[in-house]
Amino acid sequence: MAQGPGIKPQSLPVVCVAMIRFLLLLALLGHAEAVRDMGSILLAEEASMDLEANASQVQAGTVAGAHLAYDVASRRARDAASASSEERQRRQEAFKGTTLRGRYVLEELLMAKATPGKNFPKIEEYSGQSPKHLGMGAFGDTWKAWDKTRSSYVAVKIFHNEETYISWDTATPDERESLRESKKECTAVQDIVKAGSQMGPPYKGYVQYLCQCYADHVEKGMREPAFLVLELCGTDIYSAIIEKGRSKRSSPQQQDRQFLQERRRIIHDVLKGLSVLQNLDPPLMHHDIKPDNICVSDSSGKPIAKLVDFAARMIATEDTKKSAAISHPAYRPPEVA
């Protein structure tokens, strides 16, 4: 039988697998709110495993195998998104209004996107509004809470496992290790902010360009769940610029000028935050500067950009200056290996 040009018979399995993955991606993107949730992201990974499980059928060139893999992946993604949303809604209803340590009043459950390590993950409001950078660690709920002592809003990151919120006493050994790492990270950020706040001109006041961790509550013997208290650091830079541009009724030329001014201001703020790290004793390198690690806060009435995620920070030496560390390759300087 004659074959059409461009595709050899032995390449059909590869094409089928690629097409299935593309269709799966489109299906998941069609459920935007679900994909943004941590549970659905994990389901996407499991769905990918389903594709591999059906690879033999796909490689045999059977259309039925391709349809089966796609249907299973889509169904599991929908089921997981629904279960995850219901669980979050249950916690929202059960804990809203709760006061932790007699001080932090939980008002709104925010939605966390899973991020590996001790990063400040992207957070977005439960209602599906713009993403926010809050909290450290990859397992936990972040709440917008009223701090009765500060008389202001803060972010309260409550740690949980797959079933419930956890305290030090109820945590497993692995969970306790994560709690220790989160406590260590919070303390490190506090030390940086304390040292930076003592700097004189021209760096005086530049700590406002670093997103802060106010306190950790992971101590033993407490019945309440373990949690961190963090600065409500604002929205990500994409939303800050795009939403601001959409809200302005101006000409394209004016919007272009506004965009350039906004971008210039963000760059200046980021450089001020970096100057704090580089003028510590010993100096530190953030080593993971990228758009995801910059947020924009307007809580003071004047929008400012803040640096987040100090998990990749390193003492600046001749060796570390050329170390790739865990920085993103797309934003890594060319001289770094």
Beta-carbon count within 10 A of 334 CB:
4
pLDDT at 292: 79
Residues in the chain: 337
pLDDT in tens, 144-190: 999 999 999 999 999 988 778 899 999 999 999 989 988 888 898 99
Query: Whole-model pTM?
Result: 0.62
All structural domains of the chain with their residue ranges: 12-89, 91-234, 236-331
Q: Residue 233 is which amino acid?
A: C
- For the packed helices 173-197 and 252-278, what is the interaxial angle rounded to 10 degrees? 90
What is the C-alpha R_g of the chain? 23
pLDDT at 223: 81
Q: Has residue 330 got a pLDDT over 60?
A: yes
By the 10 Å C-beta count (0-12 exposed, 13-18 middle, 19+ buried), 62 is classed as middle
Q: Has residue 290 got a pLDDT over 70?
A: yes
| Residue 305: partners with Cβ closer than 8 Å, 6 or more residues away | 209, 237, 265, 266, 269, 270, 273, 294, 295, 296
What is the topology classification, in CATH, of domain 91-234? Phosphorylase Kinase; domain 1 (3.30.200)
pLDDT at 37: 37
Among the listed residues 286, 244, 279, 272, the one whose alpha carbon sits nearest the alpha carbon of residue 120: 286
Residue 305 sits at the vertex; the CA angle it makes with 33 and 277, to the nearest 5 degrees, is 120
Note the helical H segments in the chain.
Answer: 12-30, 32-36, 38-53, 55-59, 63-95, 173-197, 237-247, 252-278
Would you state the structure tokens that stand for residue 64, as one six-digit string? 């039925």
pLDDT at 308: 84
pLDDT at 164: 82
- 157 among the known binding-site residues? yes
Beta-carbon count within 10 A of 269 CB:
21
- Give the end-to-end CA distance of the chain in Å, rounded to a whole number: 52
Q: Has residue 242 got a pLDDT over 70?
A: no
Note the helical H segments in 221-283.
Answer: 237-247, 252-278
Q: How far is 112 from 142, CA to CA, in rounded Å?
A: 7
